[in-house]
Structure 1
Amino acid sequence: MCGIIGCAGRGDATLDTLLTGLGNLEYRGYDSAGVALANESLDVAKKSGELDALREAVADRTLHGSVGVGHTRWSTHGPPTDANAHPHQDCTGDVAVVHNGIIENYQQLRDELAADGHEFRSDTDTEVVPHLVEAALADGADPEAAVRQALARLEGSYAVAVVVAGVDAVFAARQDSPLVLGVADGATYLASDVPAFREYTDRVVYLEDGEFARVEAGGFEVTDFEGNAREVTVDTVDWDPEDTGKSGYDHFMLKEIHEQPRALRQCLQGRVDELGADVSLEVDPDVDRVQFVACGTSYHAALYAARLFRSAGVPAQAFLAHEYALDVPPIEDDLVVGVSQSGETADTLAALREARRRGARTLACTNVVGSTMARECDETLYIRSGPEIGVAASKTFSAQLAALNLLALSTVGPGDEQMREVIAALRDLPGDVQAVLDDTNAAEVAREYVDSDGFFFIGRGANFPVALEGALKLKEISYAHAEGFAAGELKHGTLALVTEDTPVFAVVTGDGEAARKTIGNVKEVEARDAPVVAVTDGESDVGRYADHVLEVPATNQRTAAVLANVQLQLVAYHVANELGRPIDKPRNLAKSVTVE
């Protein structure tokens, strides 16, 4: 969840490189930031709050160092204060550490170190690490060996980067938290995510769990924790650093909403044969049963996908990953699919690892090439949406729905009439999304209801996950109370909350039984004076009962859900914008949830 940047070989540009990298990682979510530069001594600066506070703190200081590390922290142990910000140092001030993850045995280690005379200045679990390194150095270990000895004492998840006064290297290690190296001529980088250093190099090495790296100006060495050499692969990142800019939009989220037509084209390209009514994926289509595991927005995509598989005659269920890992259902010959934008979601990784331990075949549905999930699973289905910077998922959710449509279709077999119809709808989907973006009146709806007491989102069938996602988006970025649920649940309790100040967004597409029953639910809330916003393709008469209509093009019901979701994304964005919220960096949230 936090962000790490490190570099060696940047000379006088080390500080600027670290600050630039931290700026590129702001999207991950944070509440404090800091840097440490190493020469014969250590120069450290850290501040709570936005990155600008750190920039101001170093503006009047001269920080020198041939190597350095930086960090954006999202609080877990202790509030966001200057003292709790990373990097953390030892008693001598010669060791500085930045850390993502949670050290589960930190209290035991802290008590032990305090008993030996070490003084602690923060509430964090991280601070035990520099003191462990200090103790090993005092016992005669060289700096690299001291870091290794400290890591051997840790239990939990971590990505750690360490600098030591007088050493022109950064020591780094990974266990259940992402860490990637950037390789350039004359300089080497490390970070929790590629955007931190993408403008300097497109060559990367993804570290695996249990790997240790020594990063220097002239290159790097990767070993296991015991010091045995590891073979690594240098990959090339295929996206441009400009892809992570705002391109003239006020917010990354708005830009990424408008990038959805392109993201969908990228997702579908080369994978569908409309003439032959066939789908081509690098995934084994032989599936008896499917279990999906995911969290948050990706869980909503999993709910949607499970319906697709069931409609194809394949039994399928979607599980919240953090609950699945605690109470794993019978697996037998099931395919277990982990859905995660980042491929680093800790809860989803834990669920997949437990499924693999029980002998399941696993598949990762993710956006990030080289992510932990992609490397650990038996197979991978990339959604190919391009980098997403806004914390609230937008284009990645739409691409997940498209990719999971393809996965479900691959089990049907070529030539099936249902497949032919859905493929045609998928072909038209990018253009249909563009039509929504061009013609939407979501800003008008947002202005009308921005001061409401609460918001309800309802849908049935494939539109039920869309209702959940619409509510989640509004909560994430506007901080308004919002609830999404299956439309049939209204009469089972939620009607007690419905008033003239709680608009109800009803997702109604097609004119089948689901649409007719949802219209009945609309009439229920209308009778209680609640305003109704219908998200509809006009195939039913729901519009006559609505105060406002958000239109989507008529299409197959599977792809209509994607279009309805785009309208709800826009409503959430405009409500948050009217309220002046920090849309790209909502409070308390992080882009990649890498701790359980």
Structure 2
Amino acid sequence: MSIQAMEEEISSQVLDLPRFASHLRKAHLPKRKRSSLVFTGSGDSYAAAVFAQELSKGEAAASDPYELLTNIKRTRGKNLVIVSLSGRTKTNVELARKANGIATTTLAITAHPESTLASECDETLPLEYRAAGTLTSGTVSFTTSLLACAYLLGNLPRTIQLGTTLGAANRWARNLKPRAKSSFVFAGSGLNYALSLYGAAKINEVLGAKAEAAYPEQLGHAMLFSVNEERDLIVCLSNNRDKARQVYELLRKNDFQCSALAISGNDAVLRSLKIAIYLQQLPLAIAKRKRMAECAFLSEKKKLKLSNKMIY
């Protein structure tokens, strides 16, 4: 069942992420200037693209693939990086074809190096991890994508140790008990905004619940008026001394249901991997509490069929 498969893949990251990082250290792709890189992708892969932009402090760019496709000149003279787990997303494939001869190079980050996207790109950076063998919501596929982006930017962590992260993330998630019909808001700046996009996507896919990502500055404007303080849950991803922490303190004082997620550490990539695992454990814990066997996106057959038509 897909919930069990998700749990297995979350656990596998403890070993698979250090192994993949070790493989990346031995890779021999040419180094490129950060300012020459444009990252793109859809779904979880879009969150990975935004992560790359934020990790580069804005030197690299992130964009929606269709927006690039309709304004292909934005790739002129750039190194286009297309993040796609399946390598089959039709907009990504069309983008790779259209960028040929316009972008300096095209590179696919994908778990399927034999895919159509990989064949259309000049270079491929394969994602390596153990899949559970059952379709489920993306976990290790996302964190390996983060490592691949970090490698291209020259920010690969020296070591990756996640031994205590799984247990801590599980305890954090189990302590959060949102209401039955809760909506969710994930708020964060910089890398934490990219991770907020991912956290919202996991709630959508696994629970079929409404979830949004927001910058802390924007949360206090129109969005706040759509949040029910007794029912909805706001998760503030914070670096402790930032706007997200200030927002969390204000929300808590005004009786909103909220949680601050702050992970310490000097390495931004390693810290992001840990936060991603926390965000994976949250919908998993809620799904297990509800005794769900399948992720919502797999249970909604009609919507899944429509989603496939829109994507592939």
TM-score normalised to structure 2 length: 0.88
Query: Does residue 570 of structure 1 match 2:277?
Result: no
Give the RMSD, CA atoms, in angstroms: 2.5
Contact 1:301 1:465 in 2 (8 A): yes
The residue that corresponds to 1:286 in the other structure is: 32
1:476–1:250 CA distance, 2 compared to 1 (3 A) = closer
Q: Could you say which structure has the greater relative contact order, defined with CA pairs below 8 angstroms and 6 or more residues apart?
A: 2
Q: Distance in 2 between matches of 1:387 and 1:397?
A: 12
Aligned counterpart, 2:10: 257
Local SS of the residue matching 2:74: coil
SS in 1 for 2:72: coil
1:309/1:408 contact within 8 Å kept = yes
Aligned residue identity for 2:178: Y
SS in 1 for 2:67: helix
Richer in strand (by share): 1
Q: 1:362 aligns with which of 106, 129, 150?
A: 106
Q: Which residue of structure 2 aligns with residue 523 of structure 1? A: 249
* Aligned with residue 489 of structure 1, among 214, 218, 226: 218
The answer to whether structure 1 residue 423 and structure 2 residue 152 are counterparts is no
Aligned 8 A contact 1:345 1:592 in 2: no
Residue number in structure 1 paired with 2:79 = 335
Residues matched between the structures, number: 303
The one-letter code matched in structure 1 to 2:232 is T
Distance change in 2, residues 1:555/1:309 (3 Å): closer
Amino acid of the structure 1 residue aligned with 2:254 = R
> Any unmatched runs of 5+ in structure 2?
none
1:556-592 C-alpha deviation (Å, 9 max, x unpaired): 2232121111111111112223334422824233797
Larger Rg: 1
Q: 1:384 to 1:397 in 2, by over 3 A?
A: same
Q: Which of 22, 25, 46 is 1:299 aligned to?
A: 46
How far apart, CA to CA, are the structure 2 residues paired with 1:493 and 1:474? 22
Q: What is the TM-score when the length of structure 1 is the normalising length?
A: 0.48
Q: For 1:142-541, what aligned pairs fall within 5 Å after superposition? A: 251-272=4-25, 280-287=26-33, 288-310=35-57, 315-387=59-131, 389-409=134-154, 423-424=157-158, 427=159, 429=160, 431-432=161-162, 434-439=163-168, 440-446=170-176, 448-498=177-227, 499-509=229-239, 511=240, 515-537=241-263, 539=264
Q: 1:469 to 1:594 in 2, by over 3 A?
A: same
- CA deviations 1:470-502 (Å, max 9, x no partner) are 111011111111111122211221111231221
Task: Report the Cα offset of residue 261 of structure 1.
Answer: 1.8
Larger fraction in helix: 2
* Cα offset, 1:271, TM superposition: 3.1
Take 1:482 and 1:594, find their aligned partners in 2: how far apart are those partners?
21
Contact 2:11 2:166 in 1 (8 A): yes
- Quote the offset at 1:595 in angstroms: 4.3
Distance 1:377 1:465 in 2: 25
- Give distance in 2, aligned partners of 1:454 and 1:586: 19
Gaps of 5+ in 1: 1-245, 273-279, 410-418, 540-553
Shift in CA distance, 250/356, structure 1 to aligned 2, threshold 3 Å: closer
Q: Distance in 2 between matches of 1:452 and 1:390?
A: 26
AA aligned opposite 2:225: A
**Compared CA separation, residues 579 and 326, structure 1 to 2 (3 A):** farther
Read off the aligned partner of 1:462 and give its amino acid letter.
L
Counterpart CA distance in 2 for 1:488 and 1:324 is 27
Q: Please give the secondary structure, in 2, of the residue aligned with 1:343.
A: coil
Q: What secondary structure sits across from 1:483 in the alignment?
A: strand
**Identical positions, percent:** 22
Distance in 2 (CA, whole Å) between partners of 1:266 and 1:503 is 35
Looking at structure 1, the residues matched to 24 and 89 of structure 2 have their Cα atoms a distance apart, in angstroms, of: 26
